[in-house]
Amino acid sequence: MQFTIAIDGPAAAGKGTISKAVAAHYGFAHLDTGLLYRAVGAKTLAGIDVLEAAITLTAEDLTASDLRTPEVAQAASKVAVLADVRAALVDFQIAFARRSGGAVLDGRDIGTVICPRAEAKLFVTASAEVRAARRYLELSQNGHDVTREAVLEDVKARDARDMNRAEAPLKPAEDAVLIDTSDLGIEAAIAAAVAAIDARKG
Ligand code: C5P
């Protein structure tokens, strides 16, 4: 059985939480595609050539412990504008999406570029302020020394770079179901996602 669930949206909208819950609900495999770009970004911060980093990326690179920092997030969105970097990461994502047993992929361009024929597509969003507040909480709880203002600036800078780039810009697929989590709790957001996917499963 092949069934692909594409979940796109901006940083800290709740994609990750929803994707994990949806994957567990249906018993599907889950790929956080942001990790691919974060791993490439982290390698460039370590001085490795960007294309070399993308071409030689291994599964092990995705488990590095320092991929969730604000510095790596910014580096990820900078390498993500490069067409050659994106091209180097396409085959792995498509193969993952079509694995038997079902797959959930979350990112920025899954429903538009990687899996335009995904059986179910969601676009998860929230206001920049709500997303920054969530990211601030997450980072400060994990011991990062950040301010609310800096996190909001980071979120807005990344949004602008992700939405305005020429290659695979962040935008909802025409047939995506929109879920705005600004005023939704986690359980309600997951329930909305499952209801939208069930409607596509028939
Ligand atoms: O989702 P996450 O915040 O981990 O993604 C980090 C960055 O990687 C994003 O800001 C975006 O620039 C890039 N990205 C992308 N396409 C994806 C997933 C992530 O361009 N499918």
7 and 105 Cβ atoms separated by less than 8 Å = yes
| Spacing, Cα 74 to ligand 1 middle (Å) | 9
What's the pLDDT at 201?
86
Task: Give, in degrees to the nearest 5, the angle at Cα 14 between 125 and 88.
Answer: 85
Q: How many angstroms does the Cα of residue 194 sit away from the middle of ligand 1?
A: 23
Residue 202 has pLDDT above 90, yes or no: no
The rounded Å distance from CA 135 to ligand 1 centre is 15
Q: How many CB atoms lie under 10 A from the CB of residue 159?
A: 16
Q: Measure the CA–CA gap between 106 and 128, rounded to whole angstroms.
A: 19
Nearest CA to ligand 1 atom 20: 80
pTM of the model: 0.96
pLDDT tens string 49-73: 999 999 999 999 999 989 999 999 9
pLDDT digits (tens, 9 = 90+) for 25-51: 999 999 999 999 999 999 999 999 999
Atom 19 in ligand 1: which residue has the minimum CA distance?
A: 34
pLDDT in tens, 91-136: 999 999 999 999 999 999 999 999 999 999 999 999 999 999 999 9
Atom 11, ligand 1: residue with shortest CA distance: 77
Which structure tokens are listed for 37?
A: 């770009």
- Residue to probe by mutation, ligand 1, list 44, 71, 77, most atoms within 8 Å of CB: 77
